[in-house]
Structure 1
Amino acid sequence: MSNTPPWIQKTSFNCAENIESYLQEDGHRTWGFVIYRCTYVSDVDWNKFMELLRRHIRRSFEFYNRLDIMDSLSLTIIQDQSIFDDASTSFVREHFKQWAATAPEEEQGEGIGPGLSQRYRYCIQVDDYALESIMEDENDGYVNLIKREWDPQSQGDRGPVEDPIEDCTLHDVGWMMVDYRDVMVGFHYQLRGYNNWYQEYRRPPKVAHG
């Protein structure tokens, strides 16, 4: 099996150069999606997930001989079993909104706004099902990617009623299941533009691949 990350096999862009460009455009010094831990069944499995995630990120940058990009990567984990254990995507979204309201200035510097940074527009949720999928097959697991600026009331008439997901029957439920191997690099690149969400979106239980 090829050691090349799956999303790199299908693209020709240099992810390291793009990340550098994004940091310069936004005036930022850190990048990377925030991770919400919503499963507390096994610390061993969680630690293995984080190890696998770091391995796939590292492999992506090794491909371009640019491991220096990992120096600016911030793998922020938000966790509290009493608050986030088995939390819904809507609960995570509301917390993320509060976090993202002050985080840019705290992380990037005084007077620095969020810019177009994907870090403050999307977050990762790992629940029991996501973690189990990765433990079952480390080459085919997923995590949930949640869009911050999503409101069911603003969706309007977006097609026929579909099977409910967390009581939502819209096609776009504001989050999607994505290949965990692609999420921190491939999807970070692909979701830079505001309209890119609609191009990449797959309604659960379909899993999106970078």
Structure 2
Amino acid sequence: MRQLEALLSRLARDRAALQRPVDISPRTPNTISTKFNAADKIERQLRVDGHRNWGFVVYRCTYTSDSAWELCVQRINASIRKTMSFYNGHDLLEEGCFKFTVIADASMLDRVTTQAVRRHFTEWCARMVHEEQGSREEIESRRQEASPWDWRLPLRYRFCIQVDEASLQSVISEDGEGWVKVIKGDWESTEATRQQQQQHETGPEMMAEDEGEFTEDEDDEEYPAVEECTEEDVGWVKVQLNVMLGFYVNQRDPNLWHITYRRPPDVVRE
């Protein structure tokens, strides 16, 4: 009789498991589905990429106060941990899995533009991706099947964070409105891209001959200059600290940059 009851009980459990929705998150089974759980997304991205760690590359671009900087870093880390606690993703913050890399050099980075940070970040990524994640063969041996947009580099090597004086002061203030700059590493201005295309199609001699002629692109709307850029997309955004991790993780989908983008000085708040 007891064996029969045990068998029936096991069958009931198996049936319940089969009927369980496939998008239930094991981290937050009663609150957030795996589609919206940032920790689950990070875990999936690591498996797809064959990478062993994830995290943020942060550029220190202000050197007015070391104590203020230390407080700023503490609050950024605390915000990350608070968000991961919400998603029950503490395991992804363990040593060897999570990397919080600060790049600081006053002689090179003090008060520099986002474009200068982007150039350095691009060079840094070229050097560090295999040093951090292993050889190409090791990465490929760990990879799992990718989704259509997973051909791009993982987020750690596509986006970096810049903290300048204004950002630092917002983070260490007590009003809860702290923000950081999230820089898109592969951004290029529309104008630069257009010139490259024209040069490729016509060559430098034709470019010189056509100079000054009107084209339909010349009446594109201009915006107030942000670091001398008058295009709508300037390649970086101000992101409020408490949504930074969620914003960052969602950029895996390349279409979401244009959906979530807010032109500075506006701040991404949700």
Q: TM exceeds 0.5?
A: yes
Which residues of structure 2 form unaligned runs of 5+? 1-30, 141-150, 196-216
- Say which of 243, 249, 253 aligns to 1:193: 253
Which residues of structure 1 form unaligned runs of 5+? 1-7
Question: Corresponding residue for 1:94?
Answer: 119
Change beyond 3 A, Cα 1:182–1:131: same
Q: TM-score, normalised by structure 2?
A: 0.69
Q: Distance in 2 between matches of 1:109 and 1:123?
A: 21
For 1:1-210, list aligned pairs within 5 A.
13-71=36-94, 72-111=97-136, 112=139, 116-137=153-174, 139-152=176-189, 153-154=192-193, 157=217, 159-183=220-244, 185-210=245-270
How many residue pairs were aligned?
201
Q: Match of 1:163, as an amino acid?
A: P
Q: Match of 1:91, as an amino acid?
A: A
Q: Match of 2:265, as an amino acid?
A: P
Q: Distance in 1 between matches of 2:156 and 2:171?
A: 23
Q: Secondary structure at the match of 1:74?
A: strand
Q: Distance in 2 between matches of 1:138 and 1:34?
A: 25
Change beyond 3 A, Cα 1:169–1:115: closer
Q: Secondary structure at the match of 2:92?
A: helix
Q: Distance in 2 between matches of 1:126 and 1:209?
A: 17
Q: Match of 1:131, as an amino acid?
A: L
Contact 1:32-1:188 at 8 Å conserved across structures:
no
Q: Distance in 2 between matches of 1:38 and 1:29?
A: 28
Contact 2:39-2:88 at 8 Å conserved across structures:
no
Q: Match of 1:192, as an amino acid?
A: R
Q: Secondary structure at the match of 1:16?
A: helix
Superposed CA offset, 1:11-39 (max 9, x none):
97111111110000000011112000001
Using the TM superposition, give the Cα deviation of residue 195 of structure 1 relative to its aligned residue in structure 2, in angstroms. 2.3
Higher helix share: 2
Contact 2:35-2:41 at 8 Å conserved across structures:
no
Q: Match of 1:27, as an amino acid?
A: G
Using the TM superposition, give the Cα deviation of residue 136 of structure 1 relative to its aligned residue in structure 2, in angstroms. 2.3
Q: Which has the higher contact order (CA 8 A, sep 6+)?
A: 1
Question: Corresponding residue for 1:3?
Answer: none
Q: Distance in 2 between matches of 1:66 and 1:124?
A: 22
Structure with bigger gyration radius: 2
Change beyond 3 A, Cα 1:64–1:150: closer
Using the TM superposition, give the Cα deviation of residue 188 of structure 1 relative to its aligned residue in structure 2, in angstroms. 2.2
Q: Distance in 2 between matches of 1:138 and 1:44?
A: 19
Q: Match of 1:122, as an amino acid?
A: F
Q: TM-score, normalised by structure 1?
A: 0.88
Q: Distance in 1 between matches of 2:125 and 2:194?
A: 22
Contact 2:83-2:242 at 8 Å conserved across structures:
no
Q: Which moved more, 1:89-98 or 1:59-68?
A: 59-68
Q: Which moved more, 1:62-71 or 1:76-85?
A: 62-71
Q: Secondary structure at the match of 2:231?
A: coil
Q: Distance in 1 between matches of 2:249 and 2:44?
A: 11
Please provide the CA RMSD for this pair. 2.3
Change beyond 3 A, Cα 1:155–1:136: farther
Aligned-pair identity in percent equals 41
Q: Secondary structure at the match of 1:32?
A: strand
Contact 1:34-1:76 at 8 Å conserved across structures:
yes
Superposed CA offset, 1:176-208 (max 9, x none):
11112222x212221011222111111000001
Q: Which moved more, 1:154-163 or 1:104-113?
A: 154-163
Q: Match of 1:50, as an amino acid?
A: V
